[in-house]
Amino acid sequence: MNCCLRILFMAVWLVLSSKLALSQAQDKKLAQEYFEQAEDVLKETKAIDQARDLFVIAADTDTTNLKANFEAGYTYIHTVNKELATKFFLRVYRQSPNYRFEIEYRIGQGYQFGLQFDQAVKYYKMYKNKISKSTAGISQGIPSSADVDKRITECSNGKEFIANPKNYSIIHMGDGINSEFDDYGPVINEDEDEMIFTTRRREGNTNEDVYEDNLPYEDIFITKKVGKKWSKAENIGPTVNRKTNESSIALSADGKTLLIYHDEGNGDIYECELQKDGTWGTPVPLPDVINSSYKESSVSLTKDGNTLYFASNRPGGLGGLDIYVCTKDSRGNWSRVKNLGPSINSAEDEESPFIDYEGTTLYFSTKARRGMGGYDIFKSQFDKDKNEWNEPVNLGYPINTPDDDAFYVATKDGQRAYYASVREDGLGYQDIYMITIGEEKNEPTPVPPTIADNSKADSLAAAEAAQRIVKKDPIAKPAVEQPKKEVTKPAVAKVEPKKETTTKPIIKNEEPKKKEPAKIEPINYIVQVVDESTKNPLDAKIKLQGFKDNIMVGVSSPSVGTYEFSITSTKPKQYRLYVEKEGYLFVNEALNIEGASANPKKLTKTVALRKLSVGSSSILKNIYFDFDKAQLKPESTTELNKLEALLRQNNNMVIEIGGHTDVVGSRAVNLKLSQLRANAVRSFLVKKGIDPRRVQAKGYGKDRPLASNDDEKEGRELNRRVEFKVLTN
């Protein structure tokens, strides 16, 4: 980073440190200073994260500053925590509905990213109505009526997907692999004991400097699995990682060939080979038949290494990035390139192809087709009879979200997969997750595709001339296990002497009727969300998922404040219920719910949300420490991220983290332990970017019990807790 940029970011840091607004007092002059500082950052750099933080402070310091509020929302939409944009856009809209022509569209975007699809559609339709009445026409860069229609369709898809989530268990890979920075692009070998991925962390980075966005450069890291545990990730080495951006995009089945992306030129693909001494060789660009003068961004190799799928925006495609396939000739050279055609590609972008180990199922991401917004991950199976790919199928929620979802890689047995996503239990930006597939599809085993030979060089980058219409590939239903049928030998009829005048009828043995399995009726679990004081229903964000496996439960909302979950698990199970609404304390509650059976069941629960006010407090119910320790366990992350989101939604709020223990042990020991645990929670929040002056930590030891310490389950366990209290708001 050059000297001028260093001075600029130092100035930003000084402004944030010396003038940070921590009260509700409105200060127009100070807000304008923050706003101008944010504009300077964007003029001189691409550090949109730092600019966003300044815009947010400016907006909260002067809620009437329309420019600051609009830019705060706009920069949230283009970074992470996109749903937080809604608050700032609504501030603008309430004060000046005509401030920006597309303001309703922006509000709709915020609601869509926050999975509040009905509210999103409401504002999208308001914007579309405005377009229809406009006589001046639509300016360049302003969302069109077609853009709005696409968004409305995505919201409709999103509601359906969330009401019928797939049986995926999505588990965070832990802080041995993930960091508070972006971690993404995981690739694995066939044995699933080695993972290589891309990270922008500071620790262990080849380049001590930062990129133009004021974040560390991309580096490639590696982790290996010993037994069932992944090792702490390490830098793959300076031969692969130069002092520029490098990202991992594919790994051969045997783990000996690594394909990486360099953004040199318009973007090209390189390969490096594993040496005999265990080090990686120097990256070498793939031949020109693959690397063109245009962008080649992602790639996947078949198990035998003879076929390669890649994304490129070269001429001759159907639009934007398309997915192509290339094969080796008899001499082992990459030679034939073919566009996969309209079965896979569209007028929009297709990215991150991954071909499974059988070479018959292609996973990829696209902005087209039936998605929820941004890139969604789809899969397509090859039809051997037609020698073409079937209609792609959306992998569904919760893998796909309204944000970008891409770079999905599956294991050899298809039981698991890995990808990166921004989720509530993450450590910061994108993190790497393991997906366990809970359902198996009874699908026929396809035959790997063949590629027509193209003799002319001009056809290497061209799309297929013949555009074929493909039939939709329905999703196969999971197999239902039938009760085993008892096999009996048929009785042999006794043979009588043959008579000329009479014949015996042939005796047929009747087969026993099949006993159909009892139909499982899902539990209808109804949650009513109300204001604690007024008892009025509240439109809230709500989610129910497995406590250990993170499997989502389908939900629909027939009316404001009423949420119906459909529980299909036949075993008793512990769940987490999350309820949150801006301006209220969030609820994160553990529930034990019986399994579904043949008898229909209806269960109801009321959740009363408390408004945020000075002095209000709440127990952080899912914070875990090892016995007599102060180090947070990974299971605590989701709860703490909820608290972080609350602090980001209320930028003037200051809280106290209170640590409490039971009566066991001396007072001095308990005071120290409770203080250390409160400090651990505070450190987590500060590491996530919350200003340290907004979080105070205090250990109370055993001085403030909630219940009697005479009983473990009903007393001491309740007293071992961490609370937060609102000091100012």
Query: Does residue 398 sit in the same domain as residue 335?
Result: yes
Cα angle, residue 686 at apex, residues 684 and 691 outer, rounded to 5°: 155
Exposure b/e, 494-520, CB count within 10 A at least 16 = b: eeeeeeeeeeeeeeeeeeeeeeeeeee
472 burial via Cβ count (<10 Å: 0-12, 13-18, 19+)? exposed
Considering only CA atoms, which of 676, 584, 593, 581 is closest in space to residue 628? 676
pLDDT tens column, 584-598: 999 988 899 999 999
Same structural domain, 303 and 319 = yes
Residue 226 shares a structural domain with residue 306: yes
Residue 512's pLDDT band (cuts 50, 70, 90): low
Residue 121 lies in a domain: yes
Count the domains in the chain.
4
Over 50: is that where the pLDDT of 532 sits? yes
Whether residue 694 lies inside any domain: the answer is: yes
Q: Are 72 and 55 in contact (CB under 8 A)?
A: yes
pLDDT at 239 over 70: yes
**Tokens coding 44:** 């001189």
Strands 654-660 and 695-701 turn out to be: parallel
| 391 band by pLDDT with thresholds 50, 70 and 90 | very high
Q: 480 lies in a domain?
A: no
CA distance 629 to 635: 15
Predicted confidence at residue 373, as pLDDT, reads 94
pLDDT of 182:
94
pLDDT tens digits, 464-478? 333 333 333 333 333
Report the percent of the chain where pLDDT is more than 90: 67
Q: Given a cut of 80, is residue 705 above it in pLDDT?
A: no
Q: What are phi and psi of 354, to 5 degrees?
A: -140, 120
pLDDT computed for residue 467 by the predictor: 38
Would you say 42 and 52 are in contact if contact means Cβ atoms under 8 Å apart?
Answer: no
Pick the more confident residue, 456 or 177.
Answer: 177
Q: How far apart are the first and last CA of the chain?
A: 38
| Local structure of 312: helix, strand or coil | strand
Q: Is residue 467 part of a domain?
A: no
Stronger pLDDT, 669 or 577, i.e. the higher one: 577
pLDDT of residue 670: 85
Does one domain contain both 217 and 92?
A: no
Q: Would you say residue 418 has pLDDT above 70?
A: yes
Average pLDDT over residues 463-492: 40
State the CATH number of the domain containing residue 174.
Answer: 2.120.10.30
Whether 388 and 425 share a structural domain: yes
Q: Could you tell me how many residues make up the chain?
A: 729
Amino acid making up residue 90: L
**How does pLDDT run across 272-319, given as a tens digit for each residue?**
999 999 999 999 999 999 999 999 999 999 999 999 999 999 999 998
Output the pLDDT for position 662: 75
E-strand spans in 263-321? 268-273, 284-285, 296-301, 307-312
The domain spanning residue 23 has which CATH number? 1.25.40.10
**540 pLDDT higher than 80:** yes
Q: How far apart are alpha carbons 587 and 526 in whole angstroms?
A: 16
Which pLDDT belongs to residue 702?
74
43 and 159 fall within a common domain: yes
Indicate the pairing of strand 695-701 with strand 234-235.
unpaired
Q: What is the CATH number of the domain that holds 690?
A: 3.30.1330.60
The per-residue pLDDT for range 351-375, each reduced to its tens digit, is 999 999 999 999 999 999 999 999 9
Weakest-pLDDT range from 191-195, 456-460, 581-585: 456-460
Domain limit, last residue, from 441, 462, 493: 441
Token pair of 383 as six digits: 């039809």
Cβ-proximal residues to 108 (8 Å cutoff; 6+ apart), any chain: 119, 120, 121, 122, 123, 124, 127, 151
Q: Which residue has the tokens 């898809």?
A: 157
The range of the structural domain enclosing residue 411 comes to 168-441
Does 237 share its domain with 311? yes
Instruction: Provide φ and ψ at 471, rounded to 5°.
Output: -85, 150
Eight-state DSSP code of residue 266:
T
pLDDT of res. 444: 42
Mean pLDDT of all residues in 547-557: 91
Q: What's the pLDDT tens digit per position in 624-680?
A: 777 778 888 888 888 898 899 899 888 889 999 998 887 677 888 889 989 999 999
Q: Where are the beta strands (DSSP E) in 290-415?
A: 296-301, 307-312, 322-328, 334-339, 350-355, 361-366, 376-383, 388-389, 393-394, 409-410
- Tokens read off for 115: 């999975």
Q: How far is CA 4 from the centre of its chain?
A: 36
Which pLDDT belongs to residue 450?
52
Please give the angle made by the CA atoms of 411, 412 and 416, to the nearest 5 degrees.
30
Q: What angle do CA 426, 428, 429 make, to 5 degrees?
A: 100
b (16+ CB within 10 A) / e for 283-302: beebeeebbbebbbbbbbbb
pLDDT at residue 159 is higher than 90: yes
**What is residue 378's predicted lDDT score, i.e. its pLDDT?**
97
d(CA 426, CA 178): 8
Compute the distance between CA of residue 433 and CA of residue 409 in angstroms, rounded to an integer: 11
Give per-residue burial for 384-405: e unless 16+ CB within 10 Å, then b. Answer: eeeebbbbbbbbbbbbbbbbbb
One domain, residues 720 and 595: no
**What is the structure's pLDDT at 631?**
85
| Mean of per-residue pLDDT scores for the chain | 85
Q: Which of 389, 413, 441 is the last residue of a domain?
A: 441
In a domain, 30, yes or no: yes
- Rounded CA separation 540/533 (Å): 16
Between 451 and 105, residue with greater pLDDT? 105
Residues 35 and 70 in one domain: yes
pLDDT(91) > 90: yes
Question: Residue 168 is inside which H or E element, if any?
Answer: strand 168-172
How far, in Å, CA of 90 to CA of 247, rounded? 38
pLDDT for 610 beyond 90: yes
The residues facing 436 across adjacent strands are 169, 416
9 with 85, same domain: the answer is: yes
Q: Give residue-wise pLDDT tens across range 94-121.
A: 999 999 999 999 999 999 999 999 999 9
Q: Is 223 inside a domain boundary? A: yes
Q: Tens digit of pLDDT for each residue in 635-649?
A: 888 889 889 989 988
Residues 311 and 343 in one domain: yes
Tell me, yes or no, whether 338 and 197 share the same domain: yes
Q: Are 276 and 297 in contact (CB under 8 A)?
A: no
Q: What is the mean pLDDT of residues 603-608?
A: 96
Residue 471 falls inside a structural domain: no
pLDDT the model gives residue 470: 35
Query: Does residue 318 fall inside a structural domain?
Result: yes
Q: What is the pLDDT of residue 487?
A: 43
Handedness of CA 707, 710, 715, 719 (dihedral sign): positive
- What local confidence, expressed as pLDDT, does residue 667 receive? 84
Do residues 139 and 397 lie in contact, with contact meaning Cβ atoms separated by under 8 Å?
Answer: no
Asked if pLDDT for residue 191 goes beyond 80, the answer is yes
Q: Of 4 and 513, which is predicted with more confidence?
A: 513
Look at residues 408, 441, 474 and tell me which one is the last residue of a structural domain.
Answer: 441
pLDDT at 429: 87
Return the CATH number at 537.
Answer: 2.60.40.1120
> Pick the residue with more confidence: 53 or 424?
53
Indicate whether 583 pLDDT > 50.
yes
Model confidence at 510, in pLDDT bands (50, 70, 90)?
Answer: low
- pLDDT-based confidence at 511, cuts 50/70/90? low
